[in-house]
Structure 1
Amino acid sequence: MTDTDLIAAARAAAVQSYSPYSGYPVGAALLFADGSVVTGTNIENASYGLALCAETVAVAKAMADGVRGGLVKVAVTGPDDKGAGDPITPCGRCRQVLSELAQLGGTDPAILCVAPGNVRTVRMSELLPHAFGPASLK
């Protein structure tokens, strides 16, 4: 799967966003070593603190299906009409959730942070250096 395909999957997921409060639909697509892709979108709640980010939804879907590693790449997209044109990056919570899934498989996935006409690629370890994870509890 190409980066363009993965970004398209994230954008398609964002179409299903439930974001009536922020008006900021986000999509995420996770690519695994076996070629499978799991997507997620943000789901807001009138009690704002209960909102779920796209990346967290995608990780929860993958883990609910028994996926415990093999994460090689993630694409995260935001709306084309918001922000200053800078690529969207996972929030702190999502960085931790993505890091846990990556650590279960011993990977350091590339994270494609997307804005219209601009894709910034960074490694998970750059977004969350010295991450707390399963090995931290041993």
Structure 2
Amino acid sequence: MSLTEAARAVRDRAYAPYSNFKVGAAILGANGKVYVGCNVENVAYPEGTCAEAGAIAAMIADGETVIAEVAVIADSPDPVPPCGGCRQKLAEFAGPLAQITMATTDGAETRAAIADLIPGVFVRAHMDKG
């Protein structure tokens, strides 16, 4: 199963009763395992979680800390990119050249490197005291 297929499968389990905008994400860890996540909404809107965050949490819970590749899918007119917060979360664990496939449920896809999605990313080195 491809990463996009894994993201598509988990998307169906998203909990999105308020927006009806279901998103699925799949991450390939450096260990070769695939981790999936779907968005989970909450009536208190800011308390929901994104699909990418769920997949990252599953990866970390399994003991992996390196993202090799990512796929995200939604029922959108154009391939759906991660939100700004998820771009930062992905950049925490993926190298700048790691690829992300952004897809629609109709089969349209686009690929980019993580660095293309978040140029000038905030990293740990910014917190060094020198």
What TM-score comes out, normalization by structure 2 length?
0.91
State, as a whole percentage, how many aligned pairs show the same letter: 40
Summarize the alignment of residues 12-91 of structure 1 with structure 2, pairs less than 5 Å apart: 12-69=9-66, 71-79=67-75, 83=76, 85-91=77-83
Structure 1: which amino acid aligns with 2:20? Answer: G
- Match in the other structure for 2:108: 118
- Structure 2 segments unaligned to the other structure (5+ residues): none
Whether the 8 Å CA contact 1:29–1:37 is kept in 2: the answer is yes
The CA distance in 2 between the partners of 1:43 and 1:7, in whole Å, is 19
The CA distance in 2 between the partners of 1:34 and 1:123, in whole Å, is 20
Whether the 8 Å CA contact 2:73–2:80 is kept in 1: the answer is yes
Whether the 8 Å CA contact 1:27–1:76 is kept in 2: the answer is yes
Aligned residue pairs: how many? 127
Can you list the C-alpha shifts for 1:24-82, whole angstroms capped at 9, x where unaligned?
1100000123221000000000000001000011111111222112x121000002xxx
User: Aligned to 1:97, what secondary structure does the other structure show?
Assistant: helix
Question: Which structure shows the bigger proportion of residues in strand conformation?
Answer: 2
Say which of 106, 112, 127 aligns to 2:117: 127
The CA distance in 1 between the partners of 2:125 and 2:57, in whole Å, is 20
What TM-score comes out, normalization by structure 1 length?
0.86
Whether the 8 Å CA contact 1:72–1:107 is kept in 2: the answer is no
The CA distance in 2 between the partners of 1:68 and 1:34, in whole Å, is 9
- Structure 1 segments unaligned to the other structure (5+ residues): none
Whether the 8 Å CA contact 2:28–2:34 is kept in 1: the answer is yes
